[in-house]
Amino acid sequence: MFISIARFHITCLSLVIAGFCLSMQSGRGQDMAVPVPPLPEVIPAAPITAPAPSPVDLKDLQRRIEFLEKPPPPKKPTIVWTSQIQADAVSISQDAQNLKRYGVIPDGAVFRRARIGLMGDYGQVDYRLEMDFALSGRPSFLDLLCAFDIRVCS
C-alpha cells in the first residue's frame, strides 16, 4: 500500500514538473517568471597585512609542531595487583556443664580465602591471573584469562 502511494505521488510530481517545463518552452509560462534584480557592484576590500612573526614565536611554533608530530612512546603492559584475605576465627567460652558434656573445645582460626592476583592489558590483549592459597592441599588457580580485543577498522 505504501509503495503504490509513493509511486502515485512521484508520478504526479513528475507530471507537474514536465508540464511546467513544456509551458516555459512554449512561451506560455513567461508571465510566471520572476524578474531577478541585478547584483550590486562588489567593492574590493583593502588588503590586510599581518604583522611579521618574531623569531621567538617561530621557535615556539616549531617546538610545538615537533612535540605534536613525534611518535607516541611504545605501549607498555599494565599490571594491577589484587589481593583478598578472608579469615574466620572462633573463640569458645565453656561453662562447667558444657565442659563435662563435650570436653574442651579449642579456639580456632582459619583462612577461608587468601588470594593474590594480577590483571592488566598490553595493547589489544587483556589478562587476569588469580591464585588461592587457602584451599586445602595446594595453591589453586581461580582465574586464568587472556582476552583479545579485535576491532575492525575501516
Rounded alpha-carbon distances, angstroms, from residue 138 to 15, 37, 132, 134: 87, 95, 9, 8
In the numeric block, which cell numbers belong to residue 60?
615556539
Q: Is the pLDDT of residue 133 over 50?
A: yes
Q: Which of 31-45, 71-85, 102-116, 125-139 has the lowest mean pLDDT?
A: 31-45
Q: Could you read off the pLDDT of 90-130 as tens digits, one per residue? A: 998 999 999 999 999 999 998 888 899 999 988 888 999 99
pLDDT at position 83: 92
Q: Is the pLDDT of residue 74 over 70?
A: yes
pLDDT at position 13: 44
Q: What is the CA radius of gyration of the chain?
A: 42
- Residue 111 to residue 83: CA distance in whole angstroms: 13
pLDDT at position 33: 59
Q: What angle do CA 136, 140, 146 make, to 5 degrees?
A: 165
pLDDT at position 41: 80
Q: Which of 29-33, 70-74, 121-125, 149-153 has the lowest mean pLDDT?
A: 29-33
Report the predicted TM-score, pTM, of the whole model to 2 decimal places: 0.41
pLDDT at position 119: 93
Question: Greater confidence, 30 or 53?
Answer: 53
Per domain, the residue ranges of the chain are 80-148
